[in-house]
Structure 1
């Protein structure tokens, strides 16, 4: 049998960073995001050879182990091992061998939630294989626990829920890991226009989001007013973005993104740098009305709202920085699993 899964990556439109503890535990966080037609995929093939083979095709990394109930973590394929170890601990199973193969449509550290989406996809493949009774909230929370508790990776909560639920969602985050996912019923013509006007640009640089997130969390713990106030403003940005999308006030989106870009830079050092600032300024000079760094910041993808037909000029103006634009579509589905 072959068991497959795929989960969509996401674009964060507003509120990024307010899903990170301790801010969301103390003040409550809010984020608006949308899933896109880039995916993380996982396949489990039963091999009957007494081996566990792990292969990340997009990273050209592979390992083979004799059958074991726990695989060693050594900073090599740890996301794959972490999911297996947790599944084996909570839902122990015997097998004569399997091969787990993964692929992600965007580079690690690119700001589209790649790592968390991959964990969701791997969890989904095991859920499919073992027919585990886990719903959407269960899977998202399970994936979050593997990353944050088992693997001790710093980060927020939005990516696991976006990948599992899919679509355009306004998410609320509270203490004790409480998460509320509110799907937004946005008219299709508004989504079509947003998709047309929103340019997804890869800076061709990646970053280690954990370092930025650790500093962001530290700033809240140490009660640094500038960082906390910036997060308050970003939470408000999520509300403004929700209203603009629901009402079709698309001309407001660039302005809302622009406000968020200024606030994001106040949360922690390393979120922006000279390259990001130069890219952002160039995009605005050539027609973009606003934009943001996707994910924690420091590199990876950026998005720009380009009203009318300005995205063509913006795209051309950014060629000097050596990055590339990526075509995409919004997707309504979240995690999908199946067997053949």
Structure 2
């Protein structure tokens, strides 16, 4: 049986996260700097000869069986799988049902702060594109994934994850009003990326969080014109510009300063972005030699990034392992979403 596979990379948000969320980016424009890593969301599609639809979410051990139809009910069950199917059938298959078995997984758990949910939608759309031979480029894939999550399912969140997963590499992304997005790939010298990779420690705090709830508070603050939150988001956008310049020059002292400044600004956006457990972990990491610390994604838990002088890396890792989380080795990757056919 022919199988159609796709994978899309997860990302680290280096600066500007939160400025890609409406209504801020619609009013002021957002700017984000992120980089993809060699951990992925995976999707495999197997066409079926029977009038059936199967979804197998392998990483969360959830399975759904449906009789083939042109529209699946949402938001029940595996809503991302269902709504992606609905959009593909509606827009690219003339409303005719598809018969398939879809298997998915992600290398990071939901709520990790690495963009796993959005990245999974990107991988699913790419797998459909491989199967149905759809003429979709990176912008098309990212915009379609955004539509599934933010428009059709109305899940609160930003825009950077979809574009990072579709394009891959290190990108400076501008989010302008009226859903106008510009992805600027950065050509960073290899020694700088090697040094950054060696200097970053990625740690899972074992505290999953619901990013939508945190972002809803952030959105409310902007809608109500809370000057403190808006000014903090302005600082996050400025940090994306500064991070781009520092990264291009390989100025690691400045990179550390920006990461710390951004984390302090991020905590001004919503009350649940930090908590005592995260604060204690960061304090312990600093005692072990960390230069800078930042919670990935919306905050509240999930993965944390630490910048450290490489000679102190092992000391930092030992200190973090004494807490209840785990380390995630990684490398930066340059490729975005990919797909292939297995016969």
Q: CA–CA distance in 2 between the matches of 1:82 and 1:248?
A: 42
Q: Any idea what SS the aligned residue of 2:311 has?
A: coil
Indicate conservation of the 8 Å contact 2:89/2:97, yes or no.
Answer: no
Computed over aligned residues only, the root mean square deviation of the Cα atoms, in angstroms, reads 1.1
The aligned residue for residue 113 of structure 2 is: 111
**In structure 2, do the counterparts of structure 1 residues 74 and 155 end up closer, same or farther at CA, with 3 Å as the change threshold?**
closer
User: Shift of the alpha carbon at 1:308?
Assistant: 3.2
* TM-score, scaled to structure 1: 0.98
Matches within 5 A, 1:1-340: 1-92=2-93, 94=96, 97-340=99-342
The farther-off stretch of 144-153 and 251-260 is 251-260
Q: CA–CA distance in 2 between the matches of 1:77 and 1:68?
A: 16
Indicate conservation of the 8 Å contact 2:69/2:97, yes or no.
Answer: no
What CA deviation, in whole Å up to 9, does each residue of 1:219-274 have, x standing for no partner?
00100011001101111111111111101112221111011111110011100000
Q: Any idea what SS the aligned residue of 1:322 has?
A: coil
User: Shift of the alpha carbon at 1:74?
Assistant: 4.3
What is the aligned residue count? 340
Q: CA–CA distance in 2 between the matches of 1:208 and 1:71?
A: 25
Q: CA–CA distance in 2 between the matches of 1:286 and 1:296?
A: 25
User: Shift of the alpha carbon at 1:287?
Assistant: 0.8
* TM-score, scaled to structure 2: 0.97
Q: Any idea what SS the aligned residue of 1:309 has?
A: helix
User: Shift of the alpha carbon at 1:92?
Assistant: 2.0
Q: Any idea what SS the aligned residue of 2:332 has?
A: coil
Ranges in structure 2 where 5+ consecutive residues have no aligned partner: none
Indicate conservation of the 8 Å contact 2:75/2:153, yes or no.
Answer: no
Q: CA–CA distance in 2 between the matches of 1:177 and 1:330?
A: 28
**In structure 2, do the counterparts of structure 1 residues 74 and 145 end up closer, same or farther at CA, with 3 Å as the change threshold?**
closer
Indicate conservation of the 8 Å contact 1:67/1:97, yes or no.
Answer: yes
**In structure 2, do the counterparts of structure 1 residues 306 and 75 end up closer, same or farther at CA, with 3 Å as the change threshold?**
farther
Indicate conservation of the 8 Å contact 1:251/1:307, yes or no.
Answer: no
User: Shift of the alpha carbon at 1:321?
Assistant: 2.1
